Amino acid sequence: MKNILEILAGPASFAFTAFALTSTFTPAQSFAIGTAVWMALWWILRPVSIYVTAFIPILVDSFFDLIPEGHVLSQYFSEIAVLLLGSDLICLTWTTTGLDRRISVKTLCCIGTSMKNQIFVWFLASTLLSVFLPNVVVAAIFCPIAVAMLHFVGEKDITKSRLALPILLAIGWGSGIGGFGSPIGSSANLVAVSYIEQLTGREFMYYDWVIRFLPLLAIIFFVNLLFLWAIPVPVKEMKGTRSYFQDMYKAFGPLKKGEWIGLILFLSATILAFARPAFADLLPGWKPAYIFLTLGLFMFFLKDETGHPMLTWKYAESHIMWGMICLFASGLALGRLVIETGAIEQLASLIAAMHLSGSLSIMAISCGFATFLSELSSNTAAASISIPVVTGLTKALGVNPIPYILGSIVAANCAYVLPISTRAIPIGHGLDAAQQIKYGLLLTLITLATTITTCTLFMMYSPLFSEL
């Protein structure tokens, strides 16, 4: 009965929203906003998979003909979806060859015996790897290793372990914030790139992203690390952890041919994506999406040390994150609905009527809105909804939208509370959800205040943050 009510709550909220907004918005605009409410509610209640919810924009547009259906459908295999697919094909071989565990354990061999060292290395490794790998993948790699290590030192009940708490939080939160370190670190970033390119009319190069966001990532990393170090733990030292990882790494033996291929192709795709300005004139169509897809397709032809293909279609078909691609696409499709119906412009004009003044207040609304959406759903959905709103708002106020879009994408990647998306993985490995919510609420407020203040200062004093 509860599940039926949760299912019905979605279309009911859509109908109620559309009816309630008819005096302020046109029917098409109110239907578009109602679609966003429906999707957000199902993302929170989860009566069905969040990936099923991803197809609601197609359903609504087919019934009400809000915009040309092709504009919605095209988002489900856009250029950025191709990038996600290509990256996924390469990273799948990391799992099949064991390269993912090798890299993770090698990174963690430098851990000392103090709890501060433990927290620092887990947090640093999770953050750095999620700059290049999908956040969920990083958390999924590290959590089992962390739990195995904790069991090794005598922590049998992970849910009640005070030593496990900051370590698993460090993995979950580090995997999240590292995502905005590069365009490929999170699909939410690709949403931002798409909107920025539409806004500026030119390609937003990967190095443009890095030089703007790495200083912000360093600041937020440091603030989050201090918070994690402040979580009380019963002991200051743990025994055996360094030797545990060193023994584990020795057991892997030398790098195998398949691991070398997976590593080289991934590094090649990443380097080519960042070096694109050097060959953009020669190969104008070979953008990062097609770089990753090209090298990803090589995996079906190259052989590992056993003579078998690095990747088979049967394995790829069952392991590619199709749901994540659809979820990402749904955000773009929803963005199309609210933009092309004019709902965003109308919403922005209503916010502008609040007579906001001062860059700090506008930045606070932009970042606060993105953080709120990210806590309730995924950072991809948050970026897809918040960036068009911020763009419309700044246009209505007559201010430069770029710094507020950049601030929004940082905020969309900094979510700590609910066990949704990446944050659900540590919970699945034993982290107490109540503890995550308790500490996550406080860290959300601290990080949001840091983001708003830092982005405002960057906008005022750094040309890089206000010009593209």
Please tell me the predicted confidence (pLDDT) of residue 301: 92
Summarize pLDDT for 289-337 with one digit per residue, the tens: 888 899 999 999 999 888 888 999 999 888 887 876 777 677 778 878 8
- Closest of 66, 70, 74, 78 to residue 343, by C-alpha: 66
Residues with Cβ within 8 Å of 381's Cβ and at least 6 positions away in sequence, in order, are 39, 40, 43, 327, 330, 331, 334, 373
* Residue 114, φ and ψ in degrees, nearest 5: -80, 150
- Compare 361 and 2 and report the one with higher pLDDT: 361
Question: Which pLDDT band holds residue 365 (cuts at 50, 70, 90)?
Answer: confident
Q: Which residue type is seen at 293?
A: L
Count the neighbouring beta carbons within 10 Å of the beta carbon of residue 8. 11
Task: Give the number of residues written for the chain.
Answer: 468
pLDDT at 378 over 70: no
pLDDT for the residue numbered 90: 85
Check whether residue 409 and residue 260 sit in a common domain: yes
d(CA 24, CA 42): 25
Residues 321 and 421 in one domain: yes
Judge if 173 and 253 occupy the same domain.
yes
Q: How far is CA 317 from CA 45, 86, 302, 327, 328, in A?
A: 29, 13, 18, 17, 18
CA distance 195 to 338: 14
Residues 345 and 394 reside in one and the same domain: yes
Instruction: Write down the pLDDT at residue 104.
Output: 65
Structural domain count of the chain = 2
* pLDDT band (50, 70, 90) for residue 376: low
253 and 370 assigned to the same domain: yes
Helix (H) / strand (E) containing 380: helix 379-397
Phi, psi (rounded to 5 degrees) for 253: 75, -170
Q: Are 118 and 231 in contact (CB under 8 A)?
A: no
pLDDT for position 64: 92
The first and second tokens of residue 277, run together, are 């300005």
Rounded CA-CA distance 62/179 in Å is 34
Q: Report pLDDT for 93.
A: 86
Looking at the structure, tell me whether residues 35 and 53 fall in a common domain.
Answer: no
Phi-psi region of 317 (alpha: psi -120 to 50; beta: other; left: phi over 0): alpha
Q: Using a pLDDT cut of 90, give the percent of the chain over it.
A: 17
CA distance 373 to 44: 10
Q: State whether 405 and 455 are in the same domain.
A: yes
C-alpha 179/C-alpha 414 separation (Å) is 9
- What pTM, to 2 d.p., does this model score? 0.66
Tokens 């095209």 map to which residue?
74
pLDDT, residue 124, reads: 92
Q: Distance between CA 221 and CA 414 in Å, rounded?
A: 10
174 lies in the same domain as 188: yes
Are residue 359 and residue 453 in the same domain, yes or no? Answer: yes
Distance CA 315, CA 276 (A): 31
Do 6 and 116 fall into the same domain? no
Rounded distance between C-alpha atoms, residue 457 and residue 173, angstroms: 25
**260-270, pLDDT tens digit by residue?**
998 899 888 87
pLDDT in tens, 31-75: 988 998 888 788 777 788 777 888 999 999 999 999 998 888 988
In this model, does residue 106 exceed pLDDT 70? yes
Residue labelled with tokens 């990174």: 107
Summary mean pLDDT of the chain: 82
Q: Is 182 exposed, middle or buried (0-12, 13-18, 19+ CB in 10 A)?
A: buried
Q: Are 430 and 178 in contact (CB under 8 A)?
A: no
Query: What pLDDT, in 10s, does the model give residues 178-216?
Result: 878 877 777 777 777 777 777 777 777 677 777 888 888
- For residues 56 and 35, state if they share a domain: no
The pLDDT confidence band at residue 348, using thresholds 50, 70 and 90, is low
CA dihedral over 266, 224, 192, 210, signed as positive or negative: negative
Q: Has residue 241 got a pLDDT over 70?
A: no
Expressed as residue numbers, the domain containing 1 is 1-48
Give me the pLDDT at residue 382, please: 73
Q: What is the pLDDT of residue 352?
A: 64
pLDDT at 375: 72
Residues 6+ apart with CB under 8 A from 128: 107, 178, 181
Say what the pLDDT of residue 76 is. 85
Instruction: Using the CB atoms, write b or e for 57-70: b if 16+ within 10 Å.
Output: bbebbeebebbeee
- Tell me: do 15 and 123 sit in the same domain: no
| DSSP output for 50-119 | HHHHTTHHHHHHHHH--S-HHHHHGGGG-HHHHHHHHHHHHHHHHHHHTHHHHHHHHHHTT--SBHHHHH
Instruction: Determine the average pLDDT of the residues in 223-233.
Output: 92
